[in-house]
Amino acid sequence: MLLKGAIGLGIRERKPAEDTRMYQSRELAAWVSNLPKGNIGETSRLVYQLLLQSNQQLLTTDTRAEIVKQLSGTVDFITTALKKHYIGQSISLSAKQQKVANFSQAIEIEMAIANKTIVEDLLVDEKFQSPLLVTAINGCLYFFFNIQIRCYQLYKDLPKSMWHEIHILYQLAEQNQFHDKKVANLDSSISIVSTYKQMLLLATTNPNQLRQQEISKIAEGLPQLNRKFKLDADPTAAHTFLVNLHSDAGPFHQSLLEEPMKAHFRGFDLVDIVEELREELQEKKSVHRALKLSDPTQRHLLDSWGVMVTRSFARASGDGDIQISVGLAASHYLIQRELYGDETLDGELSGTKLVDSLEGSLKHAIVMGVEEDDYYHHAPKPNTEWNKKTSSPAIKDDSMWDALYRDKKSQSKVNDSKPYDFLEMAKDENTEQYHFNEAAILNISPGGFCLKLDGELPKQTQTGEIVGLLDAATPGTFSWSVGCIRWIRRGIKGDLNIGIQLIAPNAKPVRAQIRTSHADDNNYQRCLMLPAIDNIGQPETILTSPLPFREGAKVRLKLNDELQDIHLKETIMNGHSFKQFTFNYLEMIEDQASKSKDPDDFDGIWDII
């Protein structure tokens, strides 16, 4: 169990070490250099065991600092290598993938504990100006920042007490006036206040509305924004966000402050950053942008860092279930099936063209599926045999290490006795994967739903994705509506809560083809026609994939046997996996394929014979 140190940091209960010779600089460096780096599982086990054991031993601050210094690079190597197991995978992680993600967090928590132990020991000895104190605080915040990024990418809350400890460390540095002193890190030099500001800024981006890759790109660009804003305790200054240094919470919008700003609050203003982002967005040149972000991500930051929008309508608790389809292609296919029966692919959506018709955002949304071990309440039993091939005491399932590393002999072999028909496989798989998921309605507002989903979910379940909602509450009847996933949160029990913004109360499935000089070679893609919404003055619109559709393009629509040309006008919504356009109708085209139904009409036979 973690104990609270003199300033409230969580550290492990420690006992005298029987032999500390292994922790001497030369011996430790030799041990690290001999780690089997090609076997990530074994390397992970050995490093974790060493960290766990040393954190439960009474060591000098210099010895513990040497351990942290020698292992920091290896821990970064391990956690980077393990990302492939849970980053860019399906939203429904397997048990082994979940354990790998939990382990990545556990090993960085142990590195943070080692740094916190150094801080507590130095303060007991009243070494408030020790260079080692600056290094330890900086190192602790470094690993906390990594944990923060991972939690946001997995749509999880930060571990309990983590924000509180982050604030404690920053206050300690600020009070002793070394918070702006740069310290050499693994690959750069950075100050305590810079890392702290990055963590605060990332917390204000509404990360549960972002995709996994967006969070990574924003985090990579945050150092460039440090010089553009500052923290201060002036209660009269204009602040966009505030943070309570005595709380276990991140920053909050200034409009939520219910009482005058107190001495233990810090504020920061993002007006200059918002103005710069707005100017960059207007220039339409992403290559010159400070953060190198896409237009949708840049607009999201403007919304997050600008004026706080209050809810227009109150939520009402809901009950019952609703059927949900995820993705533009899936919603098109299922609406088509419900309205007109199973579709018959007459060439324009078969083979490779079918593959091209699918929405492009089928990955990069990761949500943790199980509750993690609470490292702030249950400490694993010490294991002094970390240098032997024994399993970790903190993770009891030996198969976890198999998930990290598997030799070539254990990998499945490709059966080359029969060649695969890849086009036929694509056709079968891409239609069979479209299905409904049942969701429980948690609450309802005029603008959307909050739904709870369990079990295995479609791969494309992520923020910014189109969803179809089928309400079949009355037997024999059903109604469709179309929406967009606005945010995702993972509950403690592993259930997934998603916020749906309604786009339209109905939809008509169509296939759309861009008309160019080579129009016959262009693929038909699945799209949805949305009805006009009179009460907000919105005309009839069409939902398309992001590419190749654009304003001003001429598009041919096909609905059953009818062909209709339209002209795309204004983009009124631009998501990651779809665009919504207003349009004008052009001429109606007669479908030559269905013009004649007379079995004795031979007009189409001459080219064949």
Give the tens place of pLDDT for each residue, 287-336.
557 677 888 888 899 989 987 655 555 566 667 888 899 999 999 998 88
Secondary structure tally for the chain: helices H, strands E: 14, 22
SS (H, E, C) 481-496: EEEEEEEEEECCCCCE
Dist. CA 254–CA 249, nearest whole Å = 14
Burial level of 424, CB count in 10 A (0-12/13-18/19+)? Answer: exposed
Say if residue 107's pLDDT is above 70: yes
- Output the pLDDT for position 521: 65
Q: Which helix (H) or strand (E) holds 16?
A: strand 15-16
Spatial CB neighbours of 88, under 8 Å, sequence gap ≥ 6:
212, 363, 364, 366
Range name among 165-174, 435-444, 448-457 with the lowest pLDDT average: 448-457
Say if residue 344's pLDDT is above 80: no
Dist. CA 8–CA 108, nearest whole Å = 19
Say if residue 466's pLDDT is above 50: yes
Report helix, strand or coil for 435.
coil
Spatial CB neighbours of 355, under 8 Å, sequence gap ≥ 6:
426, 430
pLDDT tier at 99 (50, 70, 90 boundaries)? very high
- Output the pLDDT for position 381: 46
Residue with the bigger pLDDT between 523 and 248: it is 248
Phi, psi dihedral angles at 109 (to 5 degrees): -65, -40
- Output the pLDDT for position 569: 93
Say if residue 363's pLDDT is above 80: no
CA atoms within 13 A on the CB side of 567: 6
**pLDDT for 166-175, tens place per residue?**
999 999 999 9
Dist. CA 369–CA 193, nearest whole Å = 34
Range name among 312-326, 448-462, 515-529 with the lowest pLDDT average: 312-326
- Output the pLDDT for position 306: 82
- Output the pLDDT for position 117: 98
For the CA atoms of 574, 579, 580, 582, what is the dihedral angle to 10 degrees?
A: 100
Nearest to 362 by CA among 434, 450, 286, 468: 434
Is residue 39 within 8 A of residue 78, CB to CB? The reply is: no
pLDDT tier at 207 (50, 70, 90 boundaries)? very high
Q: What is the average per-residue pLDDT within 258-279?
A: 91
Number of neighbours of residue 18 by Cβ within 10 angstroms: 7
pLDDT tier at 286 (50, 70, 90 boundaries)? low
- The residues that bridge with 483 in the sheet, in sequence order, are 467, 502
Could you tell me which CATH class the domain 316-369+421-504 is placed in? mainly beta
- For residue 159, give the DSSP letter: P
Nearest to 460 by CA among 563, 324, 596, 595: 324
Q: What is the average per-residue pLDDT within 494-523?
A: 84
Range name among 38-47, 135-144, 181-190, 545-554 with the lowest pLDDT average: 181-190
pLDDT tier at 45 (50, 70, 90 boundaries)? very high
- The residues that bridge with 467 in the sheet, in sequence order, are 326, 483
Residue found under tokens 């790109």: 217
Q: What is the average per-residue pLDDT within 270-295?
A: 79
Is residue 574 within 8 A of residue 296, CB to CB? The reply is: yes
Number of neighbours of residue 314 by Cβ within 10 angstroms: 8
Q: What is the average per-residue pLDDT within 71-78?
A: 97
pTM of this structure: 0.76
